[in-house]
Structure 1
Amino acid sequence: MSGSYTPTAPTDLRAEIRYRDDGKYTMYGISLRWKIGENGPDQGAWPPPPDWEEGNAPYPRVYEVWLNDELRQTVFLYWSAWNWMQSNSHWVDLGDVEPEGLFHVKIRAKAGDQFTPFTNVVTIGPERICVCKWAVRQPRRRAPRPSASAGADPRHGTANHPRSRAGAAIRDLDPSRICAEARRVNTSTDWHEVVPGAAR
């Protein structure tokens, strides 16, 4: 891939309200998908996008999520070499109470030292809550890595602003009840491998 490639702005934003039910906790949120580079919101599990380059596609990693014209989150995305859907998707936590009213959602990416233009604005409301749950992947049960050179295989990303609850629970050892519960039910000590609904 040419070194002159410049990260493009995200476009074709899709958004819908979903919920997660992880045992005794139910969490509502907004599921986001967008187009970045040659990776679109309808990209399937195979084949990879033409510019994927085994996970080295120069897609932006830092995004801002805006709800109702206010900055809601600044997000840093990680992705595995084998999962291109992690490079153009995000979950916005809305809490454990069924949301009311309309949400106007847009995102933009950081390319270099500045942000790209915003995507299209998507308007969603509670009447469009999906009847299906968000798919939650359970943490992997594995032996400790034999060496630092073995390399990380992170799941996705984290909100930098406001501080990710996953980071607070696992990395910062937040003493709150729900964070203690997240540490109890998760086998990994890496904050980015927390079951999403267990640490919010």
Structure 2
Amino acid sequence: MGVMWGPLTWRHLDAGQATELWIELIDWVDWLRDRYELSAHQIPPCWPNHPVAVEELTALMASYTAAYQALTTRDGDVVRCHDTMIVWHRLELWSCLARLADHADTTVCSPTKCAHRPPDRPTATMHSDTARAVVQSDLVTRPVESDARVLAEAVMTQLIDEDAAHTVDNGVAYDGAIWQFDRRQQLFHRLTD
């Protein structure tokens, strides 16, 4: 029997799972940067370009969730979680930011230019669509599983280009289902099976 990988293991996510995790992580990192008034030097806008930063920030988000979630006893009484919240601040938040500077090469990036550019990622010039472009380039390399409920626009475009999907009057037909595009979210959602 193989290893049961968790939903935050980037290496083993399919396109649908990775789409959902990217959405959650980008939202959480935006909140973190705003809430803790972190500078562009602490977490630069180009963090999605840095695989180490993606992994570190995913782990930080998971530990934040674990530290802040409401824990209950079998009787339903809420257990105080202040100890884990303090540990998260003392040990995890600030040490993660230090590790980003040390291991993700984010200190050489500026708010407008990324010095790190893996060969399979978009150009390093920073603008409002950079994170989206990085995410799209990651997603199109992942397999699409039959139980996916949401797909990024780039993934669906690739499926259409490969003739695995085709446009219909009310969306896109793929994998025995109709998918509709949500312009606000920039995602395709499975409607019918």
- TM-score of the aligned structures, taking structure 1 as reference length: 0.26
Report the structure, 1 or 2, having the larger helix content.
2
- TM-score of the aligned structures, taking structure 2 as reference length: 0.26
Q: Name which one, 1 or 2, has greater alpha-carbon Rg.
A: 2
